Amino acid sequence: MNNPNKYRLRRTMMFLNCQKPGLIKDPYIYKPDSIMLDLEDAVAEREKDAARFSLYHALQEIDYRGVERVVRINGLDTDLWREDVRCAVAGGCDSIRIPKTETADDVRTVEYAIAEAEREFRRPVGSVLIMAALESARGVINAMSICDSSERLFGIALSGGDYSRDLQISISGTGVEFMGARQHMIIAARAAKIQCFDTVWTNLDDMEGFRREVETIHSMGFDGKSIINPRQIPVVHDIYTPKEKDIIFAEKVIKEIDEKKARGIGVFTVDGKMIDIAFYDGAKRTIALAKASGVYEGDL
Amino acid sequence: MEIIKTAVAGTLESSDCMVTIEPAQKGLELDLESAVIRQYGKRIMEVALETLDRLDVQNARVSIVDKGALDCTIKARVECAAMRAAEHEGRISWGGVIR
Mutation test of the interface with chain A: which of B55, B73, B97, choosing the one with the most A Cβ atoms within 10 A? Answer: B73
- Mean per-residue pLDDT, A223-248: 96
Question: pLDDT of B11-58, one tens digit each?
Answer: 999 999 999 999 999 999 999 999 999 999 999 999 999 999 999 999
What is the chain A residue with the closest CA to B88? A49
Using CA coordinates, name the residue in chain B closest to A51: B76
Residues on chain B bordering chain A, Cβ-to-Cβ distance under 8 angstroms: 9-10, 13-16, 69-73, 75-77, 79-80, 83-84, 91-92, 94-95, 98-99
Q: Residue B94 CA to chain centroid, in angstroms?
A: 17
Q: Does A2 have pLDDT greater than 80?
A: no
CA distance A224 to A200: 11
The predicted-structure confidence for A121-180, as pLDDT tens digits, reads as follows: 999 999 999 999 999 999 999 999 999 999 999 999 999 999 999 999 998 888 999 999
Residue B68 to residue B40: CA distance in whole angstroms: 9
Cα(B2)–Cα(A182) distance, rounded to whole angstroms? 53
Q: How many helices (H) and strands (E) does chain A have?
A: 12, 10
Are A253 and A279 contacting, i.e. CB atoms less than 8 angstroms apart?
Answer: yes
Least Cα separation, residue B93 to chain A (angstroms): 9
β pairing state of A273-275 and A268-270: antiparallel
Q: For A73, which DSSP code?
A: P
CATH 3.30.230.10 is the classification of domain B7-85: yes
pLDDT score for A4: 87
Å from B13 to nearest chain A CA? Answer: 8
Q: Give the distance from residue A100's alpha carbon to the nearest chain B alpha carbon, in angstroms.
A: 24
Give the tens place of pLDDT for each residue, A42-86. Answer: 999 999 999 999 999 999 999 999 999 999 999 999 999 999 999
Q: What are the angstrom distances between the C-alpha of A55 and each of A61, A123, B86?
A: 10, 18, 21
CATH code 3.30.450.20 for A12-240? no
Residues A161, A162, A163, A169, CA torsion sign: positive
- Running DSSP on this structure, what letter comes out for residue B59? S
Taking an 8 Å cut-off on Cβ atoms, the answer to whether B94 and A87 are in contact is: yes
B91: closest CA of chain A, how far (Å): 7
Confidence band of A94 (pLDDT split at 50, 70, 90): very high
Size of interface A-B (CB pairs under 8 A): 62
Identify which of A21, A83, A87 has the shortest CB distance to residue B16. Answer: A21
Contact A57 B95 (CB under 8 A): no
Contacts of A44 in chain B (CB under 8 A): none
- Answer yes or no: do B92 and A20 touch at CB < 8 A: no
Averaged pLDDT, A247-269:
88
Which among B10, B16, B98 has the least Cβ separation from residue A56?
B98
Q: What angle do CA A29, A34, A39 make, to 5 degrees?
A: 100
- Average model confidence (pLDDT) across chain A: 95
Residues of B in contact with A56 (CB under 8 A): 76, 94, 98
User: 179-208 in A: which are within 8 Å (CB) of B?
Assistant: none
Compute the CA torsion angle A246, A248, A254, A255 (nearest 10 deg): -170
Confidence of residue A224 (pLDDT cuts 50, 70, 90): very high
Given a cut of 70, whether residue A1 has pLDDT beyond it is no
Confidence label for A220 from pLDDT (cuts 50, 70 and 90): very high
Per-domain residue ranges for chain A? Answer: 12-240, 244-292
Spatial CA neighbour of B9 closest among B93, B70, B72, B65: B65
